[in-house]
Chains A and B, each alone.
Chain A
Amino acid sequence: MSNLAMVEAVNAAFAHEMNADDSVVLLGEDIGVNGGVFRATVDLQERFGEDRVIDTPLAETMIAGLSVGMAAQGLKPVAEIQFMGFIYPAVDQIVSHASRMRNRTCGRLTCPMVLRAPFGGGIRAPEHHSESTEALFAHMPGVRVVIPSSPARAYGLLLAAIRDPDPVIFLEPKRIYRLHKQQIEDNGEALPLDVCFTLRDGTDITLVSWGASIHETLQAADKLKEESEISCEVIDVATIKPLDMDTILKSVERTGRCVIVHEAARTGGVGADIAAQLAEKGLLSLFAPVKRVTGYDTVMPLLKLENHYLPDVDRIRRAVKETMEFA
């Protein structure tokens, strides 16, 4: 057992899997000697060599395209995009190739690759370093999009992502990289992809979130319990594509109410899809309209205003109360 922060859990998962499987290689900018700008890959080049922990030239299209080539030929590349804000040159490779190599070749060639990127706001970072655009990737058929929200889930889900036979976009909420530590047994046990994790059982309302926002959602749940005796069920979606609606629907069948919380802009966010599926399949269980607490439909502001953009405990509490008061 070791006590690990989320970013250390990422490192531990890498070390475990690189020991277990020599087809796993890491590539990215500043990941070798420097150990990554967040230290996610610290010491790995020393342990596993420059052939397996590769400092690349500065080019994201290249990183993603190389990964497609490596993966199609039997390696298991795990590429780091330094920040999600720089993933866009890689989108062509993801949407045009990684996501559909299996489909195009009827399974002859596949892309068991992982593209990781830290994302999200709240760390006073410069421009382009704070957006949450997971919905872009959730829109692409053929990829998985996975977002851990605790050290243990980072460890288990990253192992699962590396072992998965298809491309995984693995987005790490950097605001909580070092928020708290958790006891983790470094036993190589993966957690399941494609399922939500119910973090807290409740009876009055279902709160659905992922990534860093889980923490404000949990805090809001605590406060609501304390101040108004409202019992919140809290679900961490974790794999946002494909989306495990069953867990969410089952919960809403019991609670009859749902608030969705995400940092990303509202329009076309993953929350919209969850709400749509609730309307399709859960309408008759609902006592109140589904509410979303999200980032706004504006450009992610620079650091002076970023905390006004991010959903906070207060906004979540108000949304829950309004939903409770509706009926």
Chain B
Amino acid sequence: METVASFEIHYRQYLNAEGRAVDELPEFAKDADVLQRFYRDMVLTRTFDKRAIALQRTGRLGTYASSLGQEATYTGLGHAMQPRDVLAPSYREHGTCFVRGVPMSDILLYWGGDERGMAFEKAKDDFPVSVPIATHVLHAAGAAYAFKYRKEPRVAVAVCGDGGTSKGDFYESINVAGVWVLPCVFMVVNNQWAISVPRAKQSRSETLAQKAVAAGIPGEQVDGNDVIVVKDRVEVALTKARQGGGPTLIEALTYRRHDHTTADDASRYRSRQELESEKKKDPIERLKHYLIAEGAWGEDQDRQLSRECEGEVDAAVDQYLNTEPRAPETMFDNLYESLPTLYQNQREELQAKWKRHE
């Protein structure tokens, strides 16, 4: 007998849960301005999530998926990507979208039930929110093929959850990206739960990162609550992909602290203690501690930042709530490039009905 294949999976972290550096920080993280920017983006995301939930609870937004506790993963990813890279998100990545220039009001518009929220003026090549789990991971592989075909130095990034890694679409994506050496990064946000199903019931695999092994591509784990390591490792993977080195799978270990969505009640299936112990690993607190210890942040600045974020979110909410409603017949207007005359009568029927009711 001989061993014909073996593997190791590495886990990395720069800042531990207390906000102390456990390793020499990467170059970018020695710049306080950069870390302050990350901090600000995470606080903004948390402020946004909180407000979105309040809007939902008062009937002014549809079902909403909070990213509470996962902000470092999304902010770090956003800052690692270049503007011309392409994001194929699932539905919890608004933190990344904000970094990529998508206005908060667009995200509210979408979750408020208006398609115009995905019309993005910025990040124009990014894919829209994808609700059917893992289906969009293949799109990243396809986009990456287009970049490779045209010899563009761009990378496609797919994001899916721990649950998403159980779907065929996920395996198919990493497999083809491996075979074709595609410029792709697969970001698995392991927040330990897929609605009520815990990570252990998705797979016997010790890590999700090692699913990469079967696809012949590198896989690694990062502490998804450490924005520095997320930004660092995703950037390394992006650079490699951009230079023709092929895809990487990165598993970010984090925790979904909110209910799955506003339609869920997590107290039915997980313990208070688990939640409490996860709170101690908070991504925002840890960076704050680090910055304070470095003399690069203070409580006054922190209060100021909170006010600023509240103000920005207020403005986004106002814009969302004051958006002129769409006329019902516009539901036909993006069906095809131009509506076939054969469907024109349906559009008119709807328009006439709406006029009658006005």
B partners with A: yes
Are A305 and B194 in contact, with the CB atoms below 8 A?
no
Chain B residues within an 8 Å CB radius of A76:
none
- Closest residue of chain A to B197 (Cβ to Cβ) is A55
Using A296-B331, A308-B350 as known contacts, say yes or no to A33 and B163 having CB atoms under 8 A apart: no
List B contacts of A35 (CB < 8 A). Answer: 268
> Is the beta-carbon distance between A57 and B201 smaller than 8 angstroms?
yes
Segment at the A interface, from B147-155, B164-172, B183-191, B289-297: B164-172
User: Within B328-358, which residues are at the interface with A (CB < 8 Å)?
Assistant: 328, 331-332, 335, 343, 346, 350, 353-354
| B313 shortest CB reach to chain A, Å | 21
A302 in contact with B195 (CB, 8 Å): no
Inter-chain CA distance A303–B110, complex, in Å, is: 10
| Chain A residues numbered 107-125 whose CB sits less than 8 Å from any CB in chain B | 124-125
Residues of A within 8 A of B195 (CB): 29-30, 34, 37
A308 to B131, CA, bound (A): 23
Residue of A nearest to B167 (CB): A59
Asked if residues A304 and B201 are in contact (CB atoms below 8 Å), the reply is: no
- Decide: B331 and A305 in contact? CB cutoff 8 A: yes
B residues at A contact (CB < 8 Å):
62-63, 91, 110-115, 129, 131-133, 163-164, 166-169, 194-197, 201-203, 261, 263-264, 268-269, 325-326, 328, 331-332, 335, 343, 346, 350, 353-354
Q: How far apart sit A34 and B169, CA to CA, in the bound complex (Å)?
A: 25
Q: Is A197 interfacial (CB-CB < 8 Å)?
A: no
B270 to A, closest residue via Cβ: A33
The reply to whether B196 and A124 contact each other, CB–CB distance below 8 Å, is: no
Nearest CB in chain B to that of A266: its residue: B346
Q: Are B353 and A29 in contact (CB under 8 A)?
A: no
Instruction: Report how far A178 CA is from B296 CA in the complex, Å.
Output: 55
CB distance from B168 to the nearest CB of A (A): 6
Contact B113 A306 (CB under 8 A): yes
- Chain B nearest Cβ from A323, distance in angstroms: 16
Q: Decide: A301 and B115 in contact? CB cutoff 8 A.
A: yes
Q: Which of A16-24, A126-134, A158-166, A184-192 contacts B (4 or more CB under 8 A)?
A: A126-134
Identify whether the interface residues of A are mostly helix, strand, loop, or mixed.
loop
In the bound complex, what is the Cα–Cα distance between A266 and B332 (angstroms)? 14
Contact A86 B114, beta carbon cutoff 8 Å: no
A25 to B335, CA, bound (A): 41
> Do the beta carbons of B166 and A58 come within 8 Å of each other?
yes
What are 15 A-B contacts defined by CB distance under 8 Å?
A: A29-B194, A34-B269, A57-B201, A58-B163, A58-B197, A85-B131, A125-B62, A127-B129, A128-B131, A129-B131, A301-B115, A302-B114, A303-B113, A304-B326, A305-B326
Contact partners of A302 in chain B: CB under 8 A: 62, 110, 113-115
Q: Which residue of A lies closest to B166 (CB)?
A: A57
Task: Render A14-47 as a binary contact track against B, CB cut-off 8 A, 1 for contact.
Answer: 0000000000000001101111010000000000
- The minimal Cβ–Cβ distance linking A97 to chain B, given in whole angstroms, is 16
The residue that B268 contacts in the complex, of A34, A124, A298, A308, with Cβ under 8 A, is A34
B331 partner, pick from A85, A88, A128, A308, beta carbons under 8 A: A308
Q: Roughly how many angstroms separate A61 CA and B202 CA in the complex, as a whole number?
A: 15
Q: Lowest 9 A-B CB distances belong to which pairs?
A: A303-B113, A34-B196, A308-B328, A57-B166, A58-B163, A304-B113, A302-B113, A301-B331, A58-B166
Question: Chain B contacts of A59 at CB under 8 A?
Answer: 166-168
Q: State A58–B132 Cα separation when bound (angstroms).
A: 11
- Contact check, A305 vs B328: say whether CB atoms are below 8 A apart: yes
Q: Is the CB of B353 within 8 A of A299?
A: no
User: Which residues of chain A are near B346, meaning CB under 8 Å?
Assistant: 266, 296-298
- Contacts A35-B268, A58-B167, A89-B167 given; indicate if A298 touches B331 (C-beta within 8 A): yes
Q: With A58-B197, A304-B114 in contact, is A299–B131 under 8 Å at CB? A: no
Report the bound CA distance from A26 to B133 in whole Å: 22
